[in-house]
Structure 1
Amino acid sequence: MMERKLFIDGKWQEAADANRIAINDPATGEFVGSSALASRRDVDIAVEAASRALPAWAETHADNRAKILHRAADLIVERVDAIAETLTREQGKPVPDAKKEILFGVEVIRFYAEEGRRLGGSMRPASRADIRNLVTTAPVGVVGGIIPWNYPVDLYSWKVAPALAAGCTLVAKPPHETPLAIGMVVQCFADAGLPAGVLNDIPGTGPEVGAALAEHPGIRMVTATASVPAGQSIMRAAAGNLKRLSLELGGQCPFIVLDDADPAEAAAAAARRSFSNMGQICIAVNRILVSKGIHGRFVEALVAETTRIKLGHGVEPGVLYGPMLLDSGRKRVAAHIEDAVSRGGRLLAGGGAPKGAEYERGFFFEPTLVDDVPDQALAMTEETFGPLAAIRPVADDEEALRVANALPFGLSAYVYSGDLERAWRLAEKIEAGAVGVNVNDTSELQAPFGGWKMSGIGRELGREGIEAFRETKHIKLRLRG
């Protein structure tokens, strides 16, 4: 059992109003630990600490910042087994997935430690012979980071690592639902020698702490992974002092299967991307758009893949699929299924809570497939954020493209085909920040990640991920004589 506090100005401390929240295992309902729960008062205290620490950290040489980040990464690796078990018990994902998540976060930290060393400027052409134009960058300032509960450690690294490497200080708001593993990661940064006040970590709710960060005049930038409504609220609140924003918001990702695809390969990829982490992923497959010529074979293969999935407690050996985090999520999935079936969809697999004593106390839900789902159904228009994949036959590539682009979201999409040129042409026309062609994961450390349309603004990962935390400055010099 873990009892964590807020981390402000290099010290662990209780919340200003002494509030705490219990953390329970979503697989069993058992008590896992508790966390201090921040309020607006704690935001003020943390922003003040980050502001005091900013000048010295911004002037710290990039090599020294990199050494601290690398040391923190080393410590996370040393402690990965304990962090992974904590993450599984508070969030529900199986230990292998938790460990994979944490180790990718380590890669992100190491990547930005080195990218920080490569930050520089350039000389630009001038209008006169005696003029020199130097273009350089500087840290944007104090950053507010808002992290979600579905991949808390990984997405914490996406925000904290580039901001620190860029010379910014932070006030991070971990999810109040899953703050424990992040607390262990924060301790790694502290043990690595991160100066007091550079990273402040205050678990809290979005409506209070998230809103306070977005509104706070001492915060110069907010980076958040959140739902579309939450992102809209952040934008409105941030307008007060024109904060810079990096928002990765919700998606409703199409998975297109063309008639020349390998049905077994596509089905295996679709099942994993639909049901990994119980579909609680922003780039999870929501809509499967399958060419009529391959529809029957693909659906048969997908049903076989889906019905083989065995749910269980994530700490048990061999378990690859666990519970959902919240009962409210289960209710949303059930509502989307009921809506799809009432509109003529055919339930092919799953559809409710699994039977058995081992599932009675947890928030388990069967991986579910519904075929022939009409375009107006909730499963085709909203982000389910749960283990449901809606299938819709399409006549040809043009219809697949039209349906894929019909929604106001554009985070990720997937195309499976045996003809690379055909898939490439389709991928170029899909309105999304990333498209996976014959691959069911669109995140890549050295490439930018983010959404089009209402799926967000700004980019994380890649070179773009650190440039977001730097302000551009032009220095114009006149030479004498």
Structure 2
Amino acid sequence: MSTGTTWNQFINNAWVKPASGSYLSVENPATGEKLAEVAKGDVKDVDRAVAAAKAAFAAWARKTASERADYLYALNRLVERDKEELAATITAEMGKPLKEARVEVGFAIGLIRFAAENTRRLQGEIIPGEMVDEKILIDRVPHGVIGGIAAWNFPLALTARKIAPAVAAGNTIVIKPHELTPLASLKLAKLVEEAKFPAGVINIVTGDGPDVGVPLVAHKDTKLITMTGSTPAGKKIMAAAAEHLKEVRLELGGKAPFIVMDDADIDQAVEAAVSARFSNSGQVCTCNERTYVHEGVYDAFAAKLRDRIAKLKVGDPTDPATDMGPKVSLAELKKVHEMVEKAVSQGARVELGGKRLEGGVYDKGVFYAPTLLTGVTQDMDIVHNEIFGPVLPLLRVKDFDDALEKANDCRYGLSAYLFTKDLGNILRMTRELEFGEVYVNRGAGEEPQGFHHGYKESGLGGEDGQHGLEAYVQTKTIYLNA
């Protein structure tokens, strides 16, 4: 398992040292403290994990749906039991405020529970044949070994989002957590072990993308790849998967428009805009990335928005009063600041923030000030490139037509927000807004029974709910005659 603060890999229900003998450091982005060392896996570790998953597949797939559900229910109870420890781990390795980490753990619990509840709802079909007494059966069967790659911004939930439906459907899985935030996934592996899953059903290999992610995607025995991460990384995965024509499900970048019409509840919209932008330091693929406000209420909205952002408390993520913690890494902070500087050079104005926070507690971590940009126009780079940080660009629109046109002027299509009381506009949105997930008169936050998916460069396939679960099976057509 782990020795002190050193973690090995979880392969075939054993804690295995990396073939390289090397380890990676995991640091707390709020304090700079070294939290642990984790195995630096490579292609040999991937081969071993995939072999274990392949050997376990036949027996796991033969288990009844109820039997697979029982293992997931057992895991769910253990996650519920250890939810405070898991939340503290997320906060330490990722930097999100503890109150948000608790929400993440709750979401992971919901994802595992949904998968357990729905193992028996992966149903086939019976179709009349053309021959006497013939029946055509459309069965749904598991793929085999699944390769999963998780991002760093929701280290527990994204791992649970891939493991739960994969094994519920009868597959086995090898997961690569992000090298910046592997600890929550490794603690989940401890609970997999305690829940007594059969050896090889769930495996976790830690390490970086080139050494672990690339061979996992390219491996001839992984039949489906599910990945959450950036669009450039997703395109590379899709290309690598093409060699063996394996399925890919990619949840990639987002550039969510947040549309506020002149009939909206302004106070509600302001609160949602702030929450949807600054939660998790803006490091959420569904975040409010660009806010479009009707010119009739723009001034009132902008004033209230400025006041609300100014009240955000940035600091120690373990403090219950903290609203926003650090960025996950210095590299991510620098990327965000460069985007702000570019926006200013193109004519945007910094109303609030626009800099790294320094002095006192901020000197120990990588904190960026909550930032409000005004004077933003549609042609600026910051309106089209994903920020993934605590920066809110505010734009004025003339009417709903203008808002729709600007919102759709985007290569991404994951999530969007709309605040209006006009049913006609809402119905138009369902036809004309080119995003896979839309929040109407509410803030962010998908639910386990929904379907989280994007259009355009936001990915392929989707996660969660019955549609997400069915992605982990394939159809088999049987012409049945006596």
TM-score tier, shorter chain, comes to over 0.9
Match for residue 265 of structure 2 among 259, 262, 277: 262
Match status 1:28 vs 2:35: no
Write the deviation string for residues 385-432 of structure 1: whole angstroms up to 9, x where unpaired: 100111111111111111111111100000111323323322431101
Give the structure 1 partner of residue 286 of structure 2.
283
Write the deviation string for residues 135-186 of structure 1: whole angstroms up to 9, x where unpaired: 1111111000000000010111111000000000001001111111111111
Quick one: distance in 2 between partners of 1:426 and 1:372? 26
Match status 1:40 vs 2:39: no
Match status 1:367 vs 2:370: yes
Match status 1:144 vs 2:147: yes
Give the structure 2 partner of residue 125 of structure 1.
128
Give the structure 1 partner of residue 446 of structure 2.
443
Give the structure 1 partner of residue 434 of structure 2.
431
Match for residue 341 of structure 1 among 334, 339, 344: 344
Match status 1:154 vs 2:154: no
Match for residue 320 of structure 1 among 297, 319, 323: 323
Write the deviation string for residues 38-96 of structure 1: whole angstroms up to 9, x where unpaired: 11111111111111000000001111111111111111111111111111111101111
Quick one: distance in 2 between partners of 1:426 and 1:378? 25
Deviating more after overlay: 318-327 vs 42-51: 318-327
Give the structure 1 partner of residue 457 of structure 2.
454
Is contact 2:129–2:479 with CA below 8 Å preserved after alignment? no
Please state how far the C-alpha of 1:119 moved relative to its aligned partner.
Answer: 2.0
Please state how far the C-alpha of 1:320 moved relative to its aligned partner.
Answer: 2.6
Quick one: distance in 1 between partners of 2:17 and 2:321? 38
Quick one: distance in 2 between partners of 1:202 and 1:445? 26
User: Match for 2:29: what amino acid?
Assistant: P
Quick one: distance in 1 between partners of 2:418 and 2:77? 37
User: Match for 1:71: what amino acid?
Assistant: A
Deviating more after overlay: 82-91 vs 311-320: 311-320
User: Match for 1:117: what amino acid?
Assistant: R
Match status 1:76 vs 2:82: no
Give the structure 1 partner of residue 115 of structure 2.
112
3-state secondary structure, aligned to 2:15 = strand
Aligned-residue Cα RMSD (Å) equals: 1.2
Please state how far the C-alpha of 1:355 moved relative to its aligned partner.
Answer: 4.2
User: Match for 1:379: what amino acid?
Assistant: I
Give the structure 2 partner of residue 234 of structure 1.
237
Deviating more after overlay: 415-424 vs 161-170: 415-424
Give the structure 1 partner of residue 222 of structure 2.
219
Structure 2 residue runs of 5 or longer lacking an equivalent are none
Match status 1:329 vs 2:299: no
Quick one: distance in 2 between partners of 1:21 and 1:378? 35
Deviating more after overlay: 200-209 vs 7-16: 200-209
Deviating more after overlay: 380-389 vs 427-436: 427-436
Quick one: distance in 1 between partners of 2:411 and 2:34? 40
Is contact 2:111–2:164 with CA below 8 Å preserved after alignment? yes
Give the structure 2 partner of residue 16 of structure 1.
19
Quick one: distance in 2 between partners of 1:327 and 1:394? 35
Match for residue 411 of structure 1 among 409, 414, 417: 414
3-state secondary structure, aligned to 1:32 = strand
Q: Percent identity?
A: 39
Give the structure 1 partner of residue 187 of structure 2.
184
Give the structure 2 partner of residue 165 of structure 1.
168
Give the structure 2 partner of residue 299 of structure 1.
302
Quick one: distance in 2 between partners of 1:359 and 1:347? 21
Distance verdict in 2 for CA 1:152–1:47, change over 3 Å = same
3-state secondary structure, aligned to 1:189 = helix
Is contact 1:2–1:180 with CA below 8 Å preserved after alignment? no
Quick one: distance in 2 between partners of 1:33 and 1:26? 13
User: Match for 1:17: what amino acid?
Assistant: S
Quick one: distance in 1 between partners of 2:137 and 2:471? 20
User: Match for 2:115: what amino acid?
Assistant: Y
User: Match for 1:455: what amino acid?
Assistant: S
Equivalent residues in 2 for 1:54-69 (5 A)?
Answer: 54-69=57-72
Quick one: distance in 2 between partners of 1:130 and 1:338? 72
3-state secondary structure, aligned to 1:374 = coil
Is contact 1:251–1:411 with CA below 8 Å preserved after alignment? yes
Give the structure 2 partner of residue 473 of structure 1.
476
State the TM-score, normalizing by the size of structure 2.
0.97
User: Match for 2:455: what amino acid?
Assistant: W
Write the deviation string for residues 80-134 of structure 1: whole angstroms up to 9, x where unpaired: 1111111111110111111110121011101101211222322112223331111
Give the structure 2 partner of residue 50 of structure 1.
53
Write the deviation string for residues 1-48 of structure 1: whole angstroms up to 9, x where unpaired: 632110001101111101111111101101111111111111111111
3-state secondary structure, aligned to 1:245 = strand
Is contact 1:125–1:132 with CA below 8 Å preserved after alignment? yes
Quick one: distance in 2 between partners of 1:374 and 1:347? 14
Number of residue pairs matched? 479
Is contact 1:424–1:437 with CA below 8 Å preserved after alignment? no
Quick one: distance in 1 between partners of 2:334 and 2:364? 15
Is contact 1:94–1:322 with CA below 8 Å preserved after alignment? yes
Is contact 1:246–1:458 with CA below 8 Å preserved after alignment? yes
Quick one: distance in 1 between partners of 2:264 and 2:210? 45
3-state secondary structure, aligned to 1:221 = strand
Structure 1 residue runs of 5 or longer lacking an equivalent are none
3-state secondary structure, aligned to 2:156 = helix
Is contact 2:99–2:320 with CA below 8 Å preserved after alignment? no
Give the structure 1 partner of residue 252 of structure 2.
249
Quick one: distance in 2 between partners of 1:372 and 1:420? 30
Is contact 1:249–1:456 with CA below 8 Å preserved after alignment? yes
Quick one: distance in 2 between partners of 1:319 and 1:428? 40
Structure 1 runs (4+) greater than 6 angstroms displaced: none
State the TM-score, normalizing by the size of structure 1.
0.98
Is contact 1:415–1:427 with CA below 8 Å preserved after alignment? no
